[in-house]
Amino acid sequence: MFPHEEALEALGLDESARVADVKDNFRMLVWNAHPDHGGTREKFDALSDAYREALHWASHVPCEACNGTRESRKMTAQMKLVTKPCGTCNGTGLRG
């Protein structure tokens, strides 16, 4: 299995990639790698392994806004701490 950096590189991505980016790039690359379209089984298998690793990595990266806590915290003018679900990740704690 690939380390996530190599998997992302095989898909033409960097560490800012999101799940949708991984899926989109895989779909573009897999067509030519598939044995039915002139590719080889080895190339197809390597790309599929890279896809699985990159997808796993991208779906487990913490949200930048809440750092994976799933909450947004804000201090009001009355010095009261208000906590609500993070609006960036919709309370999942993960980057999308």
Q: Is the pTM of this model over 0.85?
A: no
What is the CATH architecture assignment of 4-58? Answer: Orthogonal Bundle (1.10)
Segment 13-45, tens digit of pLDDT: 998 888 899 999 999 999 999 999 999 999 999
Phi, psi dihedral angles at 4 (to 5 degrees): -60, -30
Q: Can you tell me the mean pLDDT for 65-69? A: 83
> Where exactly does CATH 1.10.287.110 map onto the chain?
4-58
pLDDT of residue 2: 60
Phi, psi dihedral angles at 54 (to 5 degrees): -65, -40
CA distance 33 to 16: 24
pLDDT of residue 30: 93
pLDDT of residue 96: 65
Q: Burial letters for 77-91: b for 16+ Cβ neighbours within 10 Å, e otherwise?
A: eeeeeeeeebeebeb
Segment 44-66, tens digit of pLDDT: 999 999 999 999 988 888 887 88
